[in-house]
Structure 1
Amino acid sequence: MTIILDRAKDLEATATWHRVCPLDELELAWGEAALVAGRQVALFRTADGTVSAVAQQDPATLANVMARGIVGSRGSRPTIASPLHKEVYDLHTGECLTRPDLTLPTFATRLVDGYVEVEL
């Protein structure tokens, strides 16, 4: 158990922010794929003005397609539906709302001087 805790601390210590693109290059309610530090990430600019970042890889099929998903919401929760089998994920938590056995990795984002940055 100590190894797991130490590994978590190591991962936290090595997480860094990566500048990805200017905010104005992201269209509202449309996904864009980016290669960030060697990892495929899907970025979404939602109606509330926030930018969400999730793994580009669909957890159900392992295909790199999430940027082509359908942006929507469930109540006040912004969502992305996989373009392949339409599993619906919460954009903030990665929780799958249609299949509890699936989770979509999410990444922190921030805006710095008009640019979107993603933490990996």
Structure 2
Amino acid sequence: MSTKKPRWTAVCKIGDILPGTGVCALVEDHHVAVFRLGEDGFYAIDNIDPRSGASVLSRGLIGNLGEHLVVASPLYKNHFDLRTGACLEAPEHSVRAHRVQVRGEAVFVSLSTLS
């Protein structure tokens, strides 16, 4: 088991993400979608849609499917769980979920995947 500390990257200011929307950020050469739900709920998943290879998940619609908090891909409409990155329709198309921290007015993302 690795004890490596997460490496945090500042991606934007809180005010740069309107509640109920997402933005794309480049973190260590990876496209990451960062979402804001409400005033202080932040989530991050890979931004690349696995079916198309396009960097578009940050532009998807956010909602709920049962107990899952999801974003729907704007291309193929697959739903990705914002907490885990799981694709609800096709688990083989799941993406990684990443850690998010807010420090002051800045939003930070770490590519250390969630356990």
Question: Which TM-score applies when normalising by structure 2?
Answer: 0.86
Deviation per residue, 1:12-43 (Å, 9 max, x gap) = 62630111111111111111111122211111
2:112 is the counterpart of 1:116: no
Structure 2 counterpart of 1:94, one-letter code: G
Q: Which has the higher strand share?
A: 2
Q: What are structure 1's unaligned runs of at least 5 residues?
A: none
What one-letter code is carried by the residue in structure 1 that aligns with 2:23? E
Cα distance in 1 between the residues matched to 2:93 and 2:43: 18
The answer to whether structure 1 residue 95 and structure 2 residue 86 are counterparts is: yes
CA contact (8 A) 1:42 1:53 kept: yes
Deviations 1:35-82 (A, max 9, x none): 122211111101373111111101122111111111111234210111
Contact 2:19 2:39 in 1 (8 A): no
- Among the aligned pairs, what percent are the same residue? 32
1:111 aligned counterpart, secondary structure: strand
Q: Over aligned residue pairs, what C-alpha RMSD do you find?
A: 1.7
Structure 2 equivalent of residue 52 of structure 1: 43
After TM superposition, where is structure 1 displaced by more than 2 Å over at least 4 residues in a row?
A: none
One-letter identity of the residue aligned with 2:63: G
Tell me which protein shows more helix as a share of its residues.
1
TM-score where L is the length of structure 1: 0.83
For structure 2, the residue ranges without an aligned partner over 5 or more in a row are none
For 1:71, give the aligned amino acid: I
What number of residue pairs does the alignment pair up? 111
1:68 paired to 2:59:
yes
Larger radius of gyration: 1
